[in-house]
Amino acid sequence: MRIDGKRKCSDCSKEFEWMSIVAQPASAPIYTVETIDKPQARIVEKRGDTYLVNIFCSHCKQLNAFEHK
Ligand SMILES: [Zn+2]
């Protein structure tokens, strides 16, 4: 399963897109191959429905850490 979003950099304030591939929910019937067409974020932690995401800004390379639902 794929999650993605847009983030405004905490350092340079420019927007960039990100995505990440995460484990399928156990209820998902079929594994689908996901296309990687955006900068890949790292999922640091999953708490319930919330993912803690780390991604380097596409513009200034500053590390952005934030929560995504
Ligand atoms: Zn930046």
**Per-residue model confidence as pLDDT tens digits over 30-69:** 777 788 899 999 999 999 999 999 999 999 999 999 999 9
Distance 28 CA to ligand 1 centre (A): 35
CA of 54 to the centre of ligand 1 (A): 13
d(CA 33, CA 59): 28
Compute, in angstroms, the gap from residue 41 CA to the centroid of ligand 1. 14
**Distance (Å) from CA 17 to ligand 1 centroid:** 12
Q: How far is the CA of 46 from the centre of ligand 1 (A)?
A: 24
Nearest to 50 by CA among 65, 68, 26, 66: 68
pLDDT value, residue 6: 96
